[in-house]
Amino acid sequence: MGAHLPRAFFARDVLEVAPDCIGKVLVAQSSEGIVAARIVESEAYRGPEDQAAHSRNGLRTARTEVMFGEPGHVYMFRLYGSSWAFNIVTGNVGEPQVVLLRGVEPIEGVHIMAARRRIDPHRREISNGPGKLCQAMGFNGEHYGCDLVESGTIYLTDGGAEQIGTSRRINIDYAGIWAERPWRFFERGNRYVSVPPRI
DNA sequence: AGGCCGATCTTCT
DNA sequence: GAAGATCGGCCTC
């Protein structure tokens, strides 16, 4: 596996980091073994101005605290009770921005991912959504605040992508004009993209 | 393949 | 007390 992506990769505006994450490899080690997957879909959440972000208007609470700190750390939050979402802090300290990962393509440890998901390893539903990829990668609340640059257990390594597409972000229609911004990024034609665009 | 709907729980009002 | 950065089962086509 290649070297960890450095702090400098994450210490840029989220609108640069989010598309650059497409094709990068996410690695997670646990007692069950190593799991690695290519990132094929991401979304940028750019507080404090972005009204779809949890950090909108600079809202700073125990939940959002990590977003105001050093880039390269992990922001975990729960979605609708049953699943988790995995995000990476970007930008300068004090700028509450994150990249949400919405889809990954299994590369290594597919059998581990399939067992966690209780699903056949060849099905795209193994990791084609923010909650599904967290279950497959073994991510939960314990990973809140984890540093992807210094940690030996969760990190990103280099990798390339084919053609990258953009679209509005998924399921944030309540956010008015902010819902229309093309801040979702994905690899065109990849079957692990959660909501495939219309040709 | 796609639409509807209930489950589930943390956070904020 | 309500609203989500969702998922999976069940239904119809």
| Residue reference for tokens 């993209």 | A193
Nucleotides of B under 7 A from a protein CB: 7-13
Please report the pLDDT score of residue A156 as a whole number: 98
Q: Kindly report which amino acid residue has its CA closest to the C1' atom of nucleotide B6.
A: A80
Please report the pLDDT score of residue A1 as a whole number: 59
Find which nucleotide's C1' atom is closest to A79's CA. C6
Find which nucleotide's C1' atom is closest to A54's CA. C5
As given in the structure block, the two tokens for residue A132 are 């599904």
Q: How far is the CA of A136 from the C1' of B3 (A)?
A: 26
- pLDDT (tens digit per residue) in A5-24: 999 999 999 999 999 999 99
- Among the listed residues A133, A123, A5, A163, the one whose alpha carbon sits nearest the alpha carbon of residue A71: A5
Report whether A34 contacts A101 (CB < 8 A): no
Find which nucleotide's C1' atom is closest to A135's CA. C7
Identity of the residue numbered A64: T
Q: How far is the CA of A120 from the C1' of C5 (A)?
A: 26
Domain boundaries, chain A: 7-187
The pTM for the full model equals: 0.96
d(CA A101, CA A89): 12
Please report the pLDDT score of residue A129 as a whole number: 97
Footprint of strand B on the protein (CB under 7 A): A 54, 59, 61-64, 77-78, 80-82
Task: Domain A7-187: state its class.
Answer: alpha beta
Find which nucleotide's C1' atom is closest to A64's CA. B11
Residues of chain A with pLDDT under 70: 1, 199
Q: How far is the CA of A199 from the C1' of B10 (A)?
A: 37
